[in-house]
Structure 1
Amino acid sequence: MKNIDELATEASIKSAASTLQPGDQLSIMISADDMEVVAPFNQNISNSDSPNYNMINGSQNINRVNVSQNPTYVVKEDGTINFPILGLLDTTNKTKEEFAQYLQNRMKKYVVNPIVNINIINFKVTVLGQVNRPATYTVPDGQATLLTALGLAGDLTKYGERDNVLVVRNENGQITKTRIDLTKADFINSPFYQIKQNDVIFVSGNPTVTKTSRLDPNAGIYISVASIVVTILALVFK
């Protein structure tokens, strides 16, 4: 990675967090000095365990984890959630932090100094191809970068092409994709550096993998058997 110091500083200033998307499950907890006052805002509409899906070598492992006991809300297709007392709230084009501030401002009409805590409990990213642990991973805090996702997958294998990492994104029904070169530091300025909900990352294999995949997996066995046959025939007709 070249020019990393300069570009990393620039990216840290410019990088924007992911905006909330339809299908996001938001865990929202309202607190204040008097918790009885905010109790009506903490109604438990959908309190259940959220599965953590791991897909490794084609087999799916579902591990249920105990997520927040806070009320959870699913963002609708139109970008809204139905919140107690306040009614429909629009999350469109808002990051988790911006929506928390928006909700906090709305609540000041009813509560003195409300505190809003929001987590995305179903934020998932899928990493496939030449990585050590290909799988779909859940990111509890809803914040992840491309490097974070690759780290969860155990980094690239020795056959992975670091200059050819494909990122596919489905945002509001629109599919976009780009190829990232990890050997050049300017990839951290890409809008795909900050991972969004349900992104798919695919690490291509180098020419060695391509050549190997074209070979018959039983070629070694055939060669061994042929060698044994030749040896036996040589002994018989000696």
Structure 2
Amino acid sequence: MSLKHFIYGATSIVLFSCTPRQEINYMKDIDSIALENSIKNSRVDFQPGDQLIISVSAKDMEVVKLFNQNYSSNSNIAAQYSLPSTNNLPQSVPAGGPTYTVDTNGDIIFPQIGQISTKNENIETLRAKLTGLLKEYVKDPIVDIKLINFKVSVLGEVAKPGTYIVPDGSTTLLGALGLAGDLTAYGVRNNVLVVRNIDGQISKERIDLTSANFINSPYYYLKQNDVVYVQPNAVREKASRVDPNTGLYISVASVIASITVGILALIKN
């Protein structure tokens, strides 16, 4: 190999090896984006199937017993951050209180009050709504609401693909990717797909993680049952098309070639 070819090859290796490092940077222009613009998207509206723990307290706890029916301070709800794709044991968050499931009409049935609509409501607005209704029965009621089955799925080129239950009831796109162990070196960072199903209506958006503009997207704060998919880059796709037995074929071919050369040598002698 000539010196010229060696220098050319070394330069090419350096240039190509630097490219992935640049692509891995997230939100390179973060300083130019106003983070407060994303706060408006942080509230997660309830959907049918959501499970809510709603507990009511006041100075006189005897008065609020009616609104805490079936309360059990010993109940634990397993908040499984990672499902089958990891060997880590699930973490559990102690949680107690009566559980309400949002029905297909978006309603829950609350003791004494009756049917309450959760449509277009989130934890903050439903808490305020219930507090106002309870003031007719209780002096200075305190309402606590937890969404206990909020889950998202993260698939594709991440370290730990799977479905994740978020006990806080809310997470961002970056938070979900963090639960999944972040993107692998083969994940495409400027074309992450988020699929959303609200009342049977499917919507989707492609997110560029290398630009801070994505924090202003309505898909930055994930909603119940969102699916995040990180597609593989060209290197991974090319590797997946290679026959996994290629190495074996090459080894067998080498052995056959060696035997053939040996036989030909013996024939010549």
For normalisation by structure 2, the TM-score amounts to 0.81
For residues 39 and 97 of structure 2, the distance between their equivalents in structure 1, rounded to whole angstroms, comes to: 32
Aligned twin of 1:162: 189
Aligned twin of 2:54: 28
Shift in Å, 1:9: 2.3
Aligned twin of 2:83: 54
Shift in Å, 1:230: 1.3
> Structure 1 residue 194 and structure 2 residue 221: aligned?
yes
- Check conservation: 2:38, 2:217, Cα contact below 8 A: no
- Check conservation: 1:50, 1:122, Cα contact below 8 A: no
- Which structure carries more helix by proportion? 2
CA distance 1:157–1:139, shift in 2 (3 Å): same
Which consecutive unaligned segments of at least 5 residues does structure 2 have? 1-26
Alignment root-mean-square deviation, CA = 2.3
Structure showing greater Rg: 2
Which consecutive unaligned segments of at least 5 residues does structure 1 have? none
- Output aligned runs, 1:1-238, within 5 Å: 1-44=27-70, 49=77, 52=80, 54-56=83-85, 65=92, 67-238=94-265
SS for the counterpart of 1:106 is: helix
CA distance 1:149–1:174, shift in 2 (3 Å): same
For residues 141 and 64 of structure 1, the distance between their equivalents in structure 2, rounded to whole angstroms, comes to: 13
For residues 43 and 34 of structure 2, the distance between their equivalents in structure 1, rounded to whole angstroms, comes to: 16
- Which structure carries more strand by proportion? 1
SS for the counterpart of 1:217 is: coil
For residues 122 and 184 of structure 1, the distance between their equivalents in structure 2, rounded to whole angstroms, comes to: 31
Number of equivalences: 236
Q: What residue identity is the alignment partner of 1:169?
A: R
Q: What residue identity is the alignment partner of 1:102?
A: K
CA distance 1:231–1:8, shift in 2 (3 Å): farther
SS for the counterpart of 1:85 is: coil
CA distance 1:10–1:2, shift in 2 (3 Å): farther
- Check conservation: 1:8, 1:188, Cα contact below 8 A: no
For residues 48 and 80 of structure 1, the distance between their equivalents in structure 2, rounded to whole angstroms, comes to: 25
Shift in Å, 1:234: 2.0
Deviations 1:132-182 (A, max 9, x none): 000100000101000000000000000000011000001111111111011
For normalisation by structure 1, the TM-score amounts to 0.91
- Tell me the percent identity: 53
